[in-house]
């Protein structure tokens, strides 16, 4: 099972533009973690460039434990000359949960099938070079209850060994949820025993994806 993948950082799309034989190719690349989010980005591009002749698109959406969802559209360009080369460029970047839209303003000179494939591929490839990336990693969640008097010290010691704190709830004891790398439960248990003198008990609490900038 895949435990890490790269995706664009959240926020506004990365925008790039090239001109080929008087045609303008404006490329957007943005994060899209669902098909609906991808289609919202495409719809926004159509809204912001309503007078463009084509709004071609491609996206790859990460799916936990399954093959990513991939879609593309030529949007009126000859079949296979826009969406597919755009999707190929996305695949080659290693990004998932990403959508690319290329807005074309026709300049009056036909490019031919080969020229279109090159133009759409190059548009996305150039934009990809400027995309700020984040990385998501799968983490195992561990729940541990700690006495309030010792919780701060224990938390600090665990953090120095690379253990992430996901959540803390305060009741009779401080109820911590820690995130650890898959397969490292044994090491965590040994560390927890050392910093608590064996007084704390760890319980499995599922998994989650943790994001960090690259």
pLDDT, tens digit, for every residue of 150-202? Answer: 999 999 999 999 899 999 999 999 999 999 988 899 999 999 999 999 999 99
38, 10 contact by CB (below 8 A): no
pLDDT at residue 212, rounded to an integer? 74
What's the rounded mean pLDDT across residues 74-94? 97
137, 1 contact by CB (below 8 A): no
Domains and CATH numbers, the chain: 6-131 (3.30.230.30), 135-212 (3.30.70.240)
pLDDT at residue 1, rounded to an integer? 61
pLDDT at residue 65, rounded to an integer? 81
**Helix (DSSP H) and strand (DSSP E) numbers for the chain:** 5, 10
124, 91 contact by CB (below 8 A): no
Report CA 195 to chain centroid distance, whole Å.
35
Tokens representing 55? 């709004």
Closest CA to 176 of 188, 190, 194: 188
Count Cβ atoms below 10 Å from residue 5 Cβ, excluding itself.
Answer: 18
pLDDT digits (tens, 9 = 90+) for 35-63: 999 999 999 999 999 999 999 999 999 99
How far apart (Å, rounded) are the C-alpha atoms in residues 25 and 8?
21
Tokens representing 53? 């002749």
203, 142 contact by CB (below 8 A): yes
Tokens representing 193? 């025993």
How far apart (Å, rounded) are the C-alpha atoms in residues 147 and 154?
10
pLDDT at residue 12, rounded to an integer? 96
Tokens representing 161? 């060994």
């Amino acid at each position: 099972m895949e435990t890490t993948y790269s995706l664009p950082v959240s926020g506004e799309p990365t925008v790039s533009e090239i001109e080929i034989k008087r045609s303008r190719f404006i490329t957007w690349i943005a994060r899209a973690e669902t098909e609906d989010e991808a289609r919202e980005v495409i719809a926004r591009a159509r809204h912001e460039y309503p007078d463009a002749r084509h709004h071609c698109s491609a996206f790859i959406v990460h799916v936990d434990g399954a093959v990513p969802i991939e879609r593309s559209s030529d949007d009126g360009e000859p079949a296979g000359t826009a969406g597919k080369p755009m999707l190929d460029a996305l695949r080659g970047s290693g990004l998932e949960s990403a959508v690319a839209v290329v807005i074309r303003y026709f300049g009056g000179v036909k490019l031919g099938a080969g020229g279109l494939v090159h133009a759409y591929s190059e548009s996305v490839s150039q934009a990809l070079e400027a995309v700020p990336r984040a990385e998501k990693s799968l983490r195992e969640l561990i729940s541990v209850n700690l006495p309030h008097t010792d919780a701060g010290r224990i938390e600090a010691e665990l953090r120095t060994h690379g253990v992430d704190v996901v959540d803390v709830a305060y009741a009779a004891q401080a109820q911590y949820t820690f995130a650890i790398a898959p397969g490292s439960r044994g090491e965590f248990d040994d560390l927890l025993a050392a910093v608590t003198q064996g007084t704390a008990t760890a319980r499995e609490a599922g998994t989650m994806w943790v994001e960090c900038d690259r």
